[in-house]
Amino acid sequence: MGPRSRYVACRSAILVALLSGASCASANASPTIRPEEATQVAELAQLAGHQGAVYSIAWSPDGSRLASASSDGTVRVWDPEAATVLLTLEQGSVSRWGVSWSPDGTRLVSVCCGSMVRVWNAATGEKLAELELPAPCTLCTAWSPDGTRIAVGEGDGTILVLDSADLHVILQWPGHVEGGLSTEIVAIAWSPDGARLASGGLDYALRVWDPATGTALATLRAATRARNDINGVAWSTDGRLVAAAGQDGFVRIWDPVTQAELRSLQVGRSWTRGVSWSPDGTILATSSGGGRLLLWDPTTGSLLATLSSSGLDVWSVAFSPDGTRIASGNGGYEVRTGIGLIRLWGLP
């Protein structure tokens, strides 16, 4: 954490100490939020510049940079401490839906409507590789934990695993097909060990795959009659559980081995999309339409904190690698021009 964030965190901790007798050092010893601390999550900064919804947001592995993809057609790299833009990698008229870091922090991959996959030098902004796909839109991407592969989810229901060096196709398969019809894939995530791939789509299903063969390992659906596109997926840090954000306003936690639904969290009355586990697995952050970012205890289902986003829909959310900060991406639903903010939050 840089000097600015340490100052803000310490200042917040001092205020807490006046009420609880805690010291600045002890208030920042652990990112875990106890129920009595739930109201102590503080907004640290706002990163302004996007002119549309921030669909995807990701911390660099060392926590020193943020990458964001927006409906305004740009992909940006930020210095979160100085609240400034370091690089603008993409510019254009089509929405940029997904961005992901390589595990060593040296490269970024971005995807967009128009089905262009690009890999970038994260320090210089140089384009290193490019692949155009036949589907009308590529909505999500994720870099494998070992750095050798990139997964992408297509608008025609296809999942592709690409070589991260030159983007040649290693494997592809029809991922989300229901009743003979393909449906868009909106979210994709590697398990921490890289042995499984989770994807969510407009067929209301969270699906788990063997990325080496394309074999389906599990198909998970909630018992709901409401429209339930799966808009976001995230693995727990230990790889045992997967959280899925649905169009019906619930985030559900699944055990992909037993295929049991372990927890159902009502995020709101409208869609929910962003979902992120804290590094220690004790907090689940969820984002939704309606302008709220919620923090949960995933074990008990207890709501720990409600963070306001001034009425702007919250599309994306990500914990920093050290668990002390949360970034959220905001903006109007399907609006390409207007306000697009990244908010940074500090945990006690």
Q: Identify the band that residue 206 occupies on the pLDDT scale cut at 50, 70 and 90.
A: very high
* Lowest-pLDDT choice from 1-5, 123-127, 193-197, 287-291: 1-5
Closest CA to 209 of 163, 262, 172, 246: 172
Give the pLDDT confidence score for residue 164 in this predicted structure: 98
- Sequence-separated (6 or more) residues with CB below 8 Å from residue 311: 290, 291
Q: How far apart are alpha carbons 345 and 9 in whole angstroms?
A: 10
- Hey, how many other C-beta atoms are within 10 angstroms of the C-beta on 321? 14
At residue 334 the predicted structure's pLDDT band, cuts being 50, 70 and 90, is low
Is the separation of the CB atoms in 303 and 296 below 8 Å?
Answer: yes
Pairing between strand 177-178 and 169-174?
A: unpaired
d(CA 52, CA 54): 6
CB neighbour class for 47 (10 Å; exposed up to 12, middle 13-18, buried from 19): buried
Burial of residue 204 (number of CB atoms within 10 Å: 0-12, 13-18, 19+): buried
Give the pLDDT band (50/70/90) at residue 338: low
d(CA 67, CA 106): 12
pLDDT at 258: 97
Whole-model pTM? Answer: 0.87
**pLDDT tens, residue by residue, 274-326:** 999 999 999 999 998 888 899 999 999 999 999 876 678 899 999 999 999 99
> How many angstroms separate the CA atoms of 170 and 346, rounded?
40
pLDDT of residue 65: 98
Q: What is the predicted pLDDT for the residue at 333?
A: 63
Tokens 């060392």 identify what position?
A: 62
pLDDT at 13 over 90: no
Q: Does domain 31-346 have CATH number 2.130.10.10?
A: yes
In this predicted structure, what is the pLDDT of residue 1? 39
Computed over every residue of the chain, the mean pLDDT equals 86
Note the pLDDT tens digit of each residue in 24-46: 222 223 345 554 455 578 999 99
- pLDDT value for 311: 72
Query: Using an 8 Å Cβ cutoff, are 145 and 192 in contact?
Result: yes
Two tokens, residue 129: 């590789």
Report which of 72, 71, 79, 153 is spatially closest to residue 109, judged by C-alpha positions. Answer: 153
Q: Which residue reads 């599309």 in tokens? A: 315
Structure tokens at 239: 């790889």
Judged against a pLDDT cut of 90, whether residue 106 lies above it is answered with: yes
**Over 60: is that where the pLDDT of 21 sits?**
no
Reported residue count of the chain is: 348
How many percent of the chain have pLDDT more than 90?
Answer: 70
Q: Where do the structural domains in the chain lie, given as residue ranges?
A: 1-30, 31-346
What per-residue confidence (pLDDT) applies to 27?
28
Adjacent-strand bridge partners of 87: 77
The answer to whether the CB of 183 falls within 8 A of the CB of 206 is no
Give the H or E element holding residue 15. Answer: helix 3-20
pLDDT digits (tens, 9 = 90+) for 140-197: 999 999 999 999 999 999 999 999 999 999 999 999 987 767 789 999 999 999 999 9
- Burial degree of 223 (CB within 10 A; 0-12, 13-18, 19+): exposed
